[in-house]
Amino acid sequence: MVLLSSLSSPSTILCLLLLLQFYVALSVILLRNHHNNNNNYNNPNHRNPILQGNRTSCSLFIGSWVYDETYPFYQSASCPAVDSQFNCQLYGRPDTEYLKYRWKPANCELPRFNGLEFLLKMKGKTVMFVGDSLGRDQWESLICMISADVPKAQTQMSRLYPISTFKFLDYGVAISYYKAPYLVDIDTVQGKRVLKLDDIRGNANAWHGVDVLSFNTGHWWTHKGPLQGWDNVEAGGTMYEDMDPLMAMEKGLRTWARWVDANIDRSRTRLFFQGISPTHYNPSKWNVGASTGSCYGETIPVTTTPMTSTYPGPDLDQSNVIQKVIREMDDPPFFLDITLLSTMRKDAHPSIYSGDLNSQQRINPNKPDCSHWCLPGLPDTWNQLFYTVLFY
Active-site positions?
A: 133, 369, 372
Burial of 163 (0-12, 13-18, 19+ CB in 10 A): middle
Using CA atoms, how far apart are residues 381 and 274, in angstroms rounded to an integer? Answer: 13
For the chain, the straight-line distance linking the first and the last C-alpha, in angstroms and rounded, comes to 59
Return the closest-CA partner of residue 128 out of 43, 206, 45, 186: 206
**Helices 314-327 and 245-263, interaxial angle, to 10°?**
30
**Of 227, 229, 199, 82, nearest in space to 144 by CA:** 82
Q: Count the residues in the chain.
A: 392
Helix/strand/coil for 155? strand
Query: Where do the H-state alpha helices sit in the chain?
Result: 2-7, 10-40, 49-57, 115-121, 133-149, 201-204, 245-263, 306-309, 314-327, 339-343, 378-391
- Let me know: does 218 contact 132? Beta carbons within 8 Å: yes
Other C-beta atoms lying within 10 Å of the C-beta of residue 280? 24
CA distance linking residue 321 with residue 328, whole number of Å:
11
Radius of gyration of the chain (CA): 26
List all residues 6 or more positions away from 362 whose beta carbon is below 8 Å from its beta carbon: 91, 92, 352, 353, 354
Rounded to whole angstroms, the Cα distance separating 233 from 220 reads 14
